[in-house]
Structure 1
Protein backbone atom coordinates (compact mmCIF):
# COMPACT_ATOMS: atom_id res chain seq x y z
CA UNK A 1 0.00 0.00 0.00
CA UNK A 2 1.41 3.36 -1.03
CA UNK A 3 1.21 6.03 1.65
CA UNK A 4 0.74 9.79 1.53
CA UNK A 5 0.85 12.81 3.79
CA UNK A 6 -2.62 14.04 4.73
CA UNK A 7 -2.73 17.77 4.17
CA UNK A 8 0.41 19.32 5.61
CA UNK A 9 0.14 17.51 8.94
CA UNK A 10 3.09 15.17 8.69
CA UNK A 11 0.61 12.31 9.19
CA UNK A 12 1.43 9.51 6.74
CA UNK A 13 -1.54 7.29 5.94
CA UNK A 14 -2.74 4.81 3.37
CA UNK A 15 -3.82 6.28 0.03
CA UNK A 16 -6.99 4.21 0.29
CA UNK A 17 -9.04 4.68 3.45
CA UNK A 18 -12.02 2.67 4.68
CA UNK A 19 -15.30 4.49 5.24
CA UNK A 20 -17.67 2.77 7.67
CA UNK A 21 -20.97 4.45 6.79
CA UNK A 22 -22.58 1.09 5.94
CA UNK A 23 -21.12 -0.87 8.84
CA UNK A 24 -24.07 -0.32 11.18
CA UNK A 25 -25.94 -3.33 9.78
CA UNK A 26 -23.05 -5.78 10.07
CA UNK A 27 -22.76 -8.42 12.74
CA UNK A 28 -19.77 -8.01 15.07
CA UNK A 29 -18.04 -10.94 13.37
CA UNK A 30 -18.59 -9.58 9.86
CA UNK A 31 -17.50 -6.08 10.85
CA UNK A 32 -14.33 -7.42 12.44
CA UNK A 33 -13.59 -9.48 9.32
CA UNK A 34 -13.96 -6.40 7.09
CA UNK A 35 -11.74 -4.26 9.32
CA UNK A 36 -9.18 -7.06 9.44
CA UNK A 37 -9.20 -7.31 5.64
CA UNK A 38 -8.56 -3.58 5.41
CA UNK A 39 -5.66 -3.72 7.84
CA UNK A 40 -4.15 -6.72 6.04
CA UNK A 41 -4.38 -4.79 2.75
CA UNK A 42 -2.40 -1.93 4.27
CA UNK A 43 -5.30 0.42 5.08
CA UNK A 44 -4.68 2.30 8.31
CA UNK A 45 -7.08 5.25 7.86
CA UNK A 46 -10.73 4.87 8.93
CA UNK A 47 -13.47 7.43 8.26
CA UNK A 48 -16.78 7.74 10.10
CA UNK A 49 -19.35 10.40 11.09
CA UNK A 50 -21.64 10.92 14.03
CA UNK A 51 -24.74 10.30 11.89
CA UNK A 52 -23.63 7.09 10.16
CA UNK A 53 -26.08 4.38 11.12
CA UNK A 54 -27.36 6.64 13.88
CA UNK A 55 -23.95 6.34 15.52
CA UNK A 56 -23.81 2.56 15.25
CA UNK A 57 -21.16 2.61 12.51
CA UNK A 58 -18.63 4.29 14.80
CA UNK A 59 -19.48 1.87 17.60
CA UNK A 60 -18.89 -1.08 15.28
CA UNK A 61 -15.55 0.36 14.16
CA UNK A 62 -14.38 0.99 17.71
CA UNK A 63 -15.42 -2.48 18.83
CA UNK A 64 -13.74 -4.17 15.87
CA UNK A 65 -10.43 -2.38 16.42
CA UNK A 66 -10.55 -3.35 20.08
CA UNK A 67 -11.39 -6.97 19.24
CA UNK A 68 -8.44 -7.11 16.84
CA UNK A 69 -6.13 -5.61 19.47
CA UNK A 70 -4.99 -2.78 17.19
CA UNK A 71 -2.84 -0.23 19.05
CA UNK A 72 -4.41 3.22 18.84
CA UNK A 73 -1.26 4.81 17.46
CA UNK A 74 -1.21 2.41 14.50
CA UNK A 75 -4.45 3.72 12.95
CA UNK A 76 -5.73 7.11 11.86
CA UNK A 77 -9.31 7.83 12.93
CA UNK A 78 -11.48 10.51 11.35
CA UNK A 79 -15.03 11.54 12.10
CA UNK A 80 -17.39 14.28 10.97
CA UNK A 81 -20.20 16.28 12.57
CA UNK A 82 -22.54 19.17 11.81
CA UNK A 83 -25.67 17.44 10.47
CA UNK A 84 -28.91 16.92 12.37
CA UNK A 85 -30.49 14.27 10.09
CA UNK A 86 -33.67 15.39 8.38
CA UNK A 87 -33.70 18.73 10.20
CA UNK A 88 -30.75 21.06 9.69
CA UNK A 89 -27.01 21.68 9.63
CA UNK A 90 -25.59 22.83 12.94
CA UNK A 91 -22.12 24.23 13.66
CA UNK A 92 -23.10 25.56 17.09
CA UNK A 93 -20.67 24.90 19.92
CA UNK A 94 -23.19 22.83 21.85
CA UNK A 95 -23.90 20.55 18.90
CA UNK A 96 -20.30 20.06 17.73
CA UNK A 97 -18.88 19.46 21.20
CA UNK A 98 -21.62 16.97 22.09
CA UNK A 99 -21.12 15.17 18.77
CA UNK A 100 -17.36 14.92 19.27
CA UNK A 101 -17.62 13.60 22.82
CA UNK A 102 -20.18 11.02 21.73
CA UNK A 103 -17.98 9.90 18.85
CA UNK A 104 -14.98 9.49 21.16
CA UNK A 105 -17.04 7.14 23.33
CA UNK A 106 -18.28 5.19 20.32
CA UNK A 107 -14.80 4.85 18.85
CA UNK A 108 -13.33 3.95 22.25
CA UNK A 109 -10.60 6.56 22.04
CA UNK A 110 -9.70 9.81 23.76
CA UNK A 111 -8.86 11.64 20.52
CA UNK A 112 -9.51 11.61 16.78
CA UNK A 113 -6.77 12.39 14.30
CA UNK A 114 -9.11 14.38 12.04
CA UNK A 115 -12.42 16.11 12.80
CA UNK A 116 -14.38 17.41 9.78
CA UNK A 117 -17.32 19.80 9.48
CA UNK A 118 -19.71 17.59 7.54
CA UNK A 119 -21.67 20.04 5.36
CA UNK A 120 -21.86 23.84 5.25
CA UNK A 121 -24.06 25.52 7.85
CA UNK A 122 -25.45 28.81 6.47
CA UNK A 123 -26.14 30.00 10.03
CA UNK A 124 -22.61 29.48 11.33
CA UNK A 125 -21.39 32.06 13.83
CA UNK A 126 -17.77 32.57 12.82
CA UNK A 127 -16.63 33.69 16.28
CA UNK A 128 -18.38 30.80 17.99
CA UNK A 129 -16.89 28.35 15.50
CA UNK A 130 -13.43 29.76 16.14
CA UNK A 131 -13.79 29.20 19.87
CA UNK A 132 -15.28 25.73 19.40
CA UNK A 133 -12.65 24.31 17.06
CA UNK A 134 -9.83 26.02 18.93
CA UNK A 135 -10.95 24.43 22.21
CA UNK A 136 -11.19 21.00 20.59
CA UNK A 137 -7.62 21.17 19.34
CA UNK A 138 -6.27 22.71 22.55
CA UNK A 139 -7.91 19.96 24.62
CA UNK A 140 -6.18 17.25 22.61
CA UNK A 141 -9.45 15.63 21.61
CA UNK A 142 -8.81 16.63 17.99
CA UNK A 143 -5.41 16.55 16.32
CA UNK A 144 -6.31 18.07 12.92
CA UNK A 145 -9.28 19.78 11.26
CA UNK A 146 -10.98 19.60 7.90
CA UNK A 147 -14.23 20.12 6.04
CA UNK A 148 -16.50 18.12 3.80
CA UNK A 149 -18.49 19.20 0.74
CA UNK A 150 -17.38 22.84 0.89
CA UNK A 151 -16.53 25.20 -1.97
CA UNK A 152 -13.45 27.47 -1.98
CA UNK A 153 -15.23 30.49 -0.50
CA UNK A 154 -16.73 28.41 2.31
CA UNK A 155 -13.28 27.00 3.04
CA UNK A 156 -11.85 30.52 3.17
CA UNK A 157 -14.56 31.64 5.58
CA UNK A 158 -13.93 28.77 8.00
CA UNK A 159 -10.16 29.09 7.67
CA UNK A 160 -10.37 32.79 8.51
CA UNK A 161 -11.94 31.84 11.84
CA UNK A 162 -9.28 29.44 13.08
CA UNK A 163 -5.55 29.58 13.76
CA UNK A 164 -4.77 26.04 12.57
CA UNK A 165 -4.96 25.01 8.91
CA UNK A 166 -7.79 23.02 7.40
CA UNK A 167 -6.14 19.87 6.10
CA UNK A 168 -8.93 17.96 4.31
CA UNK A 169 -11.92 18.53 2.05
CA UNK A 170 -14.03 15.43 1.53
CA UNK A 171 -15.83 15.52 -1.84
CA UNK A 172 -17.60 13.05 -4.07
CA UNK A 173 -15.32 12.15 -6.97
CA UNK A 174 -14.72 9.23 -9.28
CA UNK A 175 -15.40 8.01 -12.80
CA UNK A 176 -19.13 8.17 -12.13
CA UNK A 177 -18.95 11.71 -10.74
CA UNK A 178 -16.34 13.73 -12.62
CA UNK A 179 -17.65 17.29 -12.13
CA UNK A 180 -14.48 18.41 -10.34
CA UNK A 181 -12.63 17.81 -13.60
CA UNK A 182 -15.30 18.37 -16.24
CA UNK A 183 -16.50 21.82 -15.21
CA UNK A 184 -12.92 23.06 -15.26
CA UNK A 185 -12.33 21.72 -18.75
CA UNK A 186 -15.43 23.54 -20.03
CA UNK A 187 -14.47 26.99 -18.73
CA UNK A 188 -15.93 29.77 -20.93
CA UNK A 189 -18.23 27.33 -22.73
CA UNK A 190 -22.01 27.74 -23.00
CA UNK A 191 -22.89 24.04 -22.55
CA UNK A 192 -24.34 22.38 -19.45
CA UNK A 193 -20.98 20.97 -18.37
CA UNK A 194 -19.64 24.51 -18.00
CA UNK A 195 -21.95 25.07 -15.01
CA UNK A 196 -19.89 25.54 -11.86
CA UNK A 197 -20.46 22.23 -10.07
CA UNK A 198 -16.94 21.92 -8.78
CA UNK A 199 -14.84 24.49 -10.59
CA UNK A 200 -11.79 25.46 -8.59
CA UNK A 201 -12.09 22.86 -5.84
CA UNK A 202 -9.11 20.80 -6.96
CA UNK A 203 -7.05 23.93 -7.60
CA UNK A 204 -8.02 25.33 -4.19
CA UNK A 205 -6.93 22.14 -2.45
CA UNK A 206 -3.60 22.10 -4.26
CA UNK A 207 -2.89 25.74 -3.48
CA UNK A 208 -3.81 25.35 0.19
CA UNK A 209 -2.07 22.00 0.66
CA UNK A 210 -5.33 20.25 1.51
CA UNK A 211 -6.05 16.60 0.76
CA UNK A 212 -9.20 15.87 -1.20
CA UNK A 213 -10.79 12.68 0.08
CA UNK A 214 -12.94 11.12 -2.64
CA UNK A 215 -16.15 9.69 -1.20
CA UNK A 216 -18.44 7.27 -3.07
CA UNK A 217 -15.65 6.74 -5.63
CA UNK A 218 -17.48 3.92 -7.45
CA UNK A 219 -20.96 5.45 -7.44
CA UNK A 220 -22.84 7.17 -10.22
CA UNK A 221 -25.18 9.97 -9.23
CA UNK A 222 -24.88 10.43 -5.49
CA UNK A 223 -26.09 7.11 -4.11
CA UNK A 224 -27.67 5.73 -7.29
CA UNK A 225 -25.47 2.66 -7.47
CA UNK A 226 -22.07 1.31 -8.45
CA UNK A 227 -21.05 1.84 -12.09
CA UNK A 228 -18.64 -1.13 -12.08
CA UNK A 229 -20.42 -3.99 -13.84
CA UNK A 230 -23.59 -1.92 -14.29
CA UNK A 231 -25.34 -2.50 -17.65
CA UNK A 232 -26.00 1.23 -18.13
CA UNK A 233 -22.26 1.89 -18.52
CA UNK A 234 -21.01 -0.54 -21.20
CA UNK A 235 -18.31 1.72 -22.65
CA UNK A 236 -16.85 2.57 -19.25
CA UNK A 237 -16.87 -1.04 -18.10
CA UNK A 238 -15.24 -2.17 -21.33
CA UNK A 239 -12.48 0.41 -20.83
CA UNK A 240 -12.04 -0.60 -17.18
CA UNK A 241 -11.69 -4.23 -18.23
CA UNK A 242 -9.16 -3.37 -20.94
CA UNK A 243 -7.00 -1.30 -18.63
CA UNK A 244 -7.32 -3.93 -15.88
CA UNK A 245 -5.93 -6.51 -18.32
CA UNK A 246 -3.09 -4.16 -19.24
CA UNK A 247 -2.03 -3.66 -15.62
CA UNK A 248 -2.89 -7.16 -14.41
CA UNK A 249 -5.52 -6.11 -11.91
CA UNK A 250 -9.29 -5.62 -11.51
CA UNK A 251 -11.77 -2.93 -12.64
CA UNK A 252 -12.25 -1.80 -9.02
CA UNK A 253 -8.52 -1.35 -8.55
CA UNK A 254 -8.30 0.56 -11.84
CA UNK A 255 -11.19 2.85 -10.84
CA UNK A 256 -9.29 3.55 -7.63
CA UNK A 257 -6.03 4.16 -9.49
CA UNK A 258 -7.78 6.61 -11.81
CA UNK A 259 -8.49 8.91 -8.86
CA UNK A 260 -5.05 8.47 -7.34
CA UNK A 261 -3.34 9.24 -10.67
CA UNK A 262 -4.35 12.89 -10.34
CA UNK A 263 -1.39 15.02 -9.19
CA UNK A 264 -3.51 16.58 -6.42
CA UNK A 265 -2.64 13.45 -4.41
CA UNK A 266 -6.18 12.64 -3.39
CA UNK A 267 -7.13 9.91 -0.94
CA UNK A 268 -9.87 7.41 -1.83
CA UNK A 269 -12.55 6.59 0.76
CA UNK A 270 -13.71 3.04 0.01
CA UNK A 271 -17.12 2.50 1.58
CA UNK A 272 -17.44 -1.23 1.02
CA UNK A 273 -18.24 -3.81 3.70
CA UNK A 274 -16.99 -6.71 1.55
CA UNK A 275 -13.49 -7.98 2.43
CA UNK A 276 -12.91 -8.96 -1.22
CA UNK A 277 -13.95 -5.54 -2.52
CA UNK A 278 -11.87 -3.78 0.13
CA UNK A 279 -8.81 -5.73 -0.98
CA UNK A 280 -9.49 -4.87 -4.65
CA UNK A 281 -9.86 -1.16 -3.84
CA UNK A 282 -6.66 -1.17 -1.79
CA UNK A 283 -4.75 -2.76 -4.68
CA UNK A 284 -5.45 0.36 -6.75
CA UNK A 285 -3.00 2.33 -4.63
CA UNK A 286 -0.15 0.35 -6.18
CA UNK A 287 -1.17 0.94 -9.82
CA UNK A 288 0.33 3.83 -11.79
CA UNK A 289 -1.83 4.60 -14.81
CA UNK A 290 -0.35 6.25 -17.87
CA UNK A 291 -1.74 9.52 -19.14
CA UNK A 292 -3.28 7.65 -22.08
CA UNK A 293 -5.02 5.18 -19.77
CA UNK A 294 -6.32 7.98 -17.53
CA UNK A 295 -7.79 9.90 -20.48
CA UNK A 296 -9.21 6.72 -22.02
CA UNK A 297 -11.18 6.05 -18.84
CA UNK A 298 -12.28 9.68 -18.52
CA UNK A 299 -13.62 9.68 -22.10
CA UNK A 300 -15.28 6.27 -21.62
CA UNK A 301 -17.20 7.72 -18.66
CA UNK A 302 -19.26 9.73 -21.18
CA UNK A 303 -17.14 12.85 -20.89
CA UNK A 304 -16.42 14.95 -23.96
CA UNK A 305 -13.64 17.43 -24.56
CA UNK A 306 -14.40 21.03 -25.59
Structure 2
Protein backbone atom coordinates (compact mmCIF):
# COMPACT_ATOMS: atom_id res chain seq x y z
CA UNK A 1 0.00 0.00 0.00
CA UNK A 2 2.82 2.42 0.85
CA UNK A 3 4.50 1.74 -2.49
CA UNK A 4 1.22 2.38 -4.30
CA UNK A 5 0.76 5.72 -2.50
CA UNK A 6 4.22 6.83 -3.60
CA UNK A 7 3.94 5.56 -7.17
CA UNK A 8 0.63 7.35 -7.68
CA UNK A 9 2.41 10.64 -7.07
CA UNK A 10 4.49 10.15 -10.21
CA UNK A 11 1.37 10.24 -12.40
CA UNK A 12 -0.94 12.64 -10.56
CA UNK A 13 -1.21 16.19 -11.99
CA UNK A 14 0.33 17.63 -8.83
CA UNK A 15 0.63 21.23 -9.99
CA UNK A 16 -2.95 21.39 -11.25
CA UNK A 17 -4.24 19.74 -8.06
CA UNK A 18 -2.24 22.13 -5.89
CA UNK A 19 -3.55 25.21 -7.70
CA UNK A 20 -7.14 23.92 -7.46
CA UNK A 21 -6.80 23.43 -3.71
CA UNK A 22 -5.10 26.81 -3.50
CA UNK A 23 -8.08 28.51 -5.16
CA UNK A 24 -10.44 27.03 -2.58
CA UNK A 25 -8.09 27.90 0.29
CA UNK A 26 -8.03 31.54 -0.83
CA UNK A 27 -11.79 31.85 -1.34
CA UNK A 28 -14.17 33.54 1.09
CA UNK A 29 -16.86 30.88 1.20
CA UNK A 30 -18.55 31.95 4.43
CA UNK A 31 -20.17 29.05 6.32
CA UNK A 32 -18.47 26.51 4.05
CA UNK A 33 -15.04 27.91 4.94
CA UNK A 34 -15.88 27.89 8.65
CA UNK A 35 -17.20 24.32 8.48
CA UNK A 36 -14.05 23.14 6.74
CA UNK A 37 -11.82 24.90 9.27
CA UNK A 38 -13.75 23.24 12.13
CA UNK A 39 -13.35 19.84 10.45
CA UNK A 40 -9.63 20.46 9.94
CA UNK A 41 -9.13 21.47 13.60
CA UNK A 42 -10.84 18.29 14.77
CA UNK A 43 -9.18 16.02 12.21
CA UNK A 44 -5.63 17.21 12.93
CA UNK A 45 -6.10 18.13 16.61
CA UNK A 46 -4.98 21.73 16.09
CA UNK A 47 -4.38 23.55 19.38
CA UNK A 48 -6.41 26.72 18.89
CA UNK A 49 -5.65 27.88 22.44
CA UNK A 50 -2.29 29.06 21.09
CA UNK A 51 -3.82 31.04 18.24
CA UNK A 52 -4.33 34.79 18.48
CA UNK A 53 -7.90 34.17 17.30
CA UNK A 54 -9.22 30.88 18.65
CA UNK A 55 -12.70 31.11 17.09
CA UNK A 56 -12.81 29.45 13.62
CA UNK A 57 -15.33 32.10 12.53
CA UNK A 58 -12.61 34.75 12.81
CA UNK A 59 -10.98 33.53 9.57
CA UNK A 60 -12.45 34.63 6.23
CA UNK A 61 -10.41 32.09 4.25
CA UNK A 62 -8.76 28.77 4.96
CA UNK A 63 -5.41 30.41 4.17
CA UNK A 64 -6.03 32.97 6.91
CA UNK A 65 -6.59 30.11 9.34
CA UNK A 66 -3.66 28.04 8.13
CA UNK A 67 -1.20 30.92 8.50
CA UNK A 68 -2.79 32.07 11.77
CA UNK A 69 -0.60 34.12 14.12
CA UNK A 70 0.03 32.94 17.65
CA UNK A 71 -0.72 34.79 20.87
CA UNK A 72 2.16 37.00 22.03
CA UNK A 73 4.64 35.07 24.15
CA UNK A 74 3.62 31.63 22.88
CA UNK A 75 7.06 30.99 21.34
CA UNK A 76 9.70 32.79 23.43
CA UNK A 77 12.99 33.21 21.59
CA UNK A 78 16.07 31.73 23.30
CA UNK A 79 18.54 34.54 23.93
CA UNK A 80 22.26 34.54 23.23
CA UNK A 81 24.34 35.39 20.17
CA UNK A 82 25.86 31.91 20.35
CA UNK A 83 22.51 30.12 19.95
CA UNK A 84 20.71 29.14 16.77
CA UNK A 85 16.98 28.63 17.34
CA UNK A 86 14.42 26.39 15.69
CA UNK A 87 12.84 28.43 12.88
CA UNK A 88 9.54 26.53 12.82
CA UNK A 89 7.22 24.19 14.66
CA UNK A 90 7.60 20.75 13.14
CA UNK A 91 9.58 17.54 13.26
CA UNK A 92 13.25 17.05 12.39
CA UNK A 93 13.53 14.94 9.26
CA UNK A 94 17.34 14.80 9.13
CA UNK A 95 20.31 16.89 10.20
CA UNK A 96 24.08 16.76 10.23
CA UNK A 97 27.13 17.57 8.13
CA UNK A 98 27.08 18.17 4.39
CA UNK A 99 29.41 15.41 3.18
CA UNK A 100 31.08 15.41 -0.24
CA UNK A 101 28.54 17.91 -1.52
CA UNK A 102 25.52 15.82 -0.48
CA UNK A 103 22.80 15.99 2.17
CA UNK A 104 21.24 12.93 3.77
CA UNK A 105 17.53 12.57 2.98
CA UNK A 106 16.58 9.14 4.33
CA UNK A 107 17.97 5.63 4.45
CA UNK A 108 19.33 4.89 0.99
CA UNK A 109 18.79 8.42 -0.33
CA UNK A 110 20.98 11.52 -0.56
CA UNK A 111 20.69 14.61 -2.73
CA UNK A 112 23.13 17.08 -4.20
CA UNK A 113 23.89 20.46 -2.62
CA UNK A 114 24.70 21.73 -6.12
CA UNK A 115 21.25 20.75 -7.42
CA UNK A 116 19.46 21.99 -4.29
CA UNK A 117 20.97 25.45 -4.86
CA UNK A 118 19.92 25.51 -8.52
CA UNK A 119 23.34 24.71 -9.93
CA UNK A 120 25.24 27.76 -8.62
CA UNK A 121 28.88 26.89 -7.91
CA UNK A 122 29.35 30.18 -6.08
CA UNK A 123 26.47 29.49 -3.71
CA UNK A 124 27.42 25.84 -3.34
CA UNK A 125 30.95 26.76 -2.21
CA UNK A 126 29.54 28.77 0.70
CA UNK A 127 28.06 25.61 2.23
CA UNK A 128 30.59 22.95 1.25
CA UNK A 129 31.45 20.91 4.37
CA UNK A 130 28.87 22.88 6.34
CA UNK A 131 25.83 21.62 8.23
CA UNK A 132 22.12 21.26 7.52
CA UNK A 133 18.82 20.63 9.26
CA UNK A 134 15.61 19.54 7.51
CA UNK A 135 12.30 20.09 9.33
CA UNK A 136 8.90 18.81 8.19
CA UNK A 137 5.80 20.85 9.02
CA UNK A 138 2.69 18.71 9.46
CA UNK A 139 -0.88 19.98 8.93
CA UNK A 140 -1.32 20.60 12.66
CA UNK A 141 1.71 22.89 12.97
CA UNK A 142 2.08 26.67 13.03
CA UNK A 143 3.05 27.54 9.45
CA UNK A 144 5.04 30.74 9.68
CA UNK A 145 8.79 30.50 9.21
CA UNK A 146 11.19 32.54 11.34
CA UNK A 147 14.89 33.36 11.37
CA UNK A 148 17.14 30.89 13.25
CA UNK A 149 19.70 33.68 13.70
CA UNK A 150 20.05 37.30 12.66
CA UNK A 151 20.96 37.70 9.00
CA UNK A 152 21.09 40.14 6.09
CA UNK A 153 19.43 38.95 2.90
CA UNK A 154 21.82 38.68 -0.06
CA UNK A 155 19.92 36.63 -2.61
CA UNK A 156 16.64 34.84 -3.27
CA UNK A 157 16.27 32.09 -5.87
CA UNK A 158 13.05 30.62 -7.24
CA UNK A 159 13.64 27.04 -8.45
CA UNK A 160 10.86 25.38 -10.47
CA UNK A 161 10.26 21.71 -9.90
CA UNK A 162 7.88 18.93 -9.07
CA UNK A 163 5.42 18.90 -6.17
CA UNK A 164 5.82 15.52 -4.52
CA UNK A 165 4.48 15.22 -0.99
CA UNK A 166 7.20 15.79 1.63
CA UNK A 167 5.67 13.57 4.31
CA UNK A 168 7.94 10.92 5.90
CA UNK A 169 6.62 8.12 3.63
CA UNK A 170 7.47 9.97 0.42
CA UNK A 171 10.78 11.25 1.78
CA UNK A 172 11.82 7.67 2.41
CA UNK A 173 11.01 6.50 -1.12
CA UNK A 174 11.49 9.30 -3.69
CA UNK A 175 15.18 9.81 -4.56
CA UNK A 176 16.46 13.39 -4.38
CA UNK A 177 13.05 14.64 -3.26
CA UNK A 178 14.06 18.06 -1.90
CA UNK A 179 16.29 18.82 -4.89
CA UNK A 180 13.53 18.02 -7.38
CA UNK A 181 10.57 19.82 -5.77
CA UNK A 182 9.75 23.47 -6.40
CA UNK A 183 11.48 25.68 -3.82
CA UNK A 184 12.53 29.17 -2.77
CA UNK A 185 16.14 29.57 -1.60
CA UNK A 186 16.93 32.54 0.67
CA UNK A 187 20.63 33.29 1.23
CA UNK A 188 21.78 35.39 4.17
CA UNK A 189 25.00 36.79 5.60
CA UNK A 190 25.34 36.42 9.37
CA UNK A 191 27.99 37.45 11.90
CA UNK A 192 29.33 33.90 11.75
CA UNK A 193 29.08 33.17 8.03
CA UNK A 194 26.59 32.23 5.29
CA UNK A 195 23.16 30.79 6.08
CA UNK A 196 20.40 29.62 3.77
CA UNK A 197 16.75 29.02 4.44
CA UNK A 198 15.12 26.86 1.78
CA UNK A 199 11.32 26.70 1.59
CA UNK A 200 10.33 23.51 -0.22
CA UNK A 201 7.00 23.23 -2.02
CA UNK A 202 4.86 20.09 -1.98
CA UNK A 203 1.56 18.63 -3.14
CA UNK A 204 -1.33 21.04 -2.41
CA UNK A 205 1.04 23.69 -1.01
CA UNK A 206 -0.87 26.57 -2.49
CA UNK A 207 1.68 29.31 -1.93
CA UNK A 208 5.15 30.18 -0.65
CA UNK A 209 5.61 33.74 0.60
CA UNK A 210 8.41 35.86 2.07
CA UNK A 211 7.97 39.01 4.17
CA UNK A 212 10.04 41.14 1.79
CA UNK A 213 8.64 39.99 -1.57
CA UNK A 214 5.17 38.64 -0.86
CA UNK A 215 3.98 35.63 -2.88
CA UNK A 216 6.80 33.96 -4.83
CA UNK A 217 4.78 31.04 -6.14
CA UNK A 218 2.21 30.62 -7.67
CA UNK A 219 2.44 31.19 -10.52
CA UNK A 220 4.86 28.39 -11.28
CA UNK A 221 7.79 29.60 -13.36
CA UNK A 222 9.42 27.72 -16.23
CA UNK A 223 13.01 28.43 -15.19
CA UNK A 224 15.27 29.43 -12.31
CA UNK A 225 15.06 33.10 -11.37
CA UNK A 226 17.09 35.00 -8.81
CA UNK A 227 17.01 38.37 -7.07
CA UNK A 228 20.08 40.05 -5.51
CA UNK A 229 19.81 42.36 -2.51
CA UNK A 230 22.19 45.04 -1.16
CA UNK A 231 24.17 44.07 1.93
CA UNK A 232 24.51 47.60 3.35
CA UNK A 233 22.79 50.95 3.32
CA UNK A 234 19.14 51.82 3.92
CA UNK A 235 17.91 49.25 1.41
CA UNK A 236 19.56 46.28 3.12
CA UNK A 237 17.06 43.73 4.47
CA UNK A 238 18.20 42.51 7.89
CA UNK A 239 15.98 40.17 9.90
CA UNK A 240 16.63 39.60 13.59
CA UNK A 241 16.69 36.16 15.19
CA UNK A 242 13.09 35.05 15.66
CA UNK A 243 11.67 37.51 13.12
CA UNK A 244 9.18 36.17 10.61
CA UNK A 245 10.77 35.24 7.28
CA UNK A 246 7.84 33.81 5.37
CA UNK A 247 5.01 31.32 5.41
CA UNK A 248 3.51 28.27 3.73
CA UNK A 249 -0.13 28.17 2.73
CA UNK A 250 -0.56 24.46 3.42
CA UNK A 251 2.30 22.48 4.91
CA UNK A 252 5.75 21.64 3.68
CA UNK A 253 9.42 21.45 4.67
CA UNK A 254 12.28 23.86 5.38
CA UNK A 255 15.98 23.18 5.02
CA UNK A 256 18.48 25.34 6.92
CA UNK A 257 22.08 25.42 5.69
CA UNK A 258 25.07 26.76 7.62
CA UNK A 259 28.57 27.46 6.34
CA UNK A 260 31.61 25.39 7.26
CA UNK A 261 32.64 25.75 10.89
CA UNK A 262 29.66 27.89 11.92
CA UNK A 263 28.05 25.31 14.21
CA UNK A 264 29.83 23.83 17.20
CA UNK A 265 27.12 21.24 17.71
CA UNK A 266 23.39 20.59 17.53
CA UNK A 267 21.58 20.40 20.86
CA UNK A 268 21.28 16.94 22.42
CA UNK A 269 17.49 16.97 22.01
CA UNK A 270 17.74 17.73 18.27
CA UNK A 271 17.77 14.49 16.29
CA UNK A 272 15.86 12.82 13.44
CA UNK A 273 12.28 12.45 14.63
CA UNK A 274 12.48 15.11 17.34
CA UNK A 275 9.61 17.59 17.68
CA UNK A 276 10.67 21.21 17.19
CA UNK A 277 9.17 24.40 18.58
CA UNK A 278 9.95 27.82 17.23
CA UNK A 279 12.36 29.75 19.42
CA UNK A 280 13.91 26.87 21.33
CA UNK A 281 17.66 26.24 20.94
CA UNK A 282 18.61 24.18 17.90
CA UNK A 283 22.40 24.47 17.83
CA UNK A 284 25.34 26.29 19.35
CA UNK A 285 27.56 28.48 17.22
CA UNK A 286 31.30 27.82 17.22
Q: Same fold (TM over 0.5)?
A: no
TM range (shorter): under 0.3
TM-score of the two chains, using structure 1 as the length reference:
0.23
Richer in strand (by share): 2
Richer in helix (by share): 1
Larger RCO: Structure 1 or Structure 2 (Cα < 8 Å, ≥ 6 residues apart)? 2
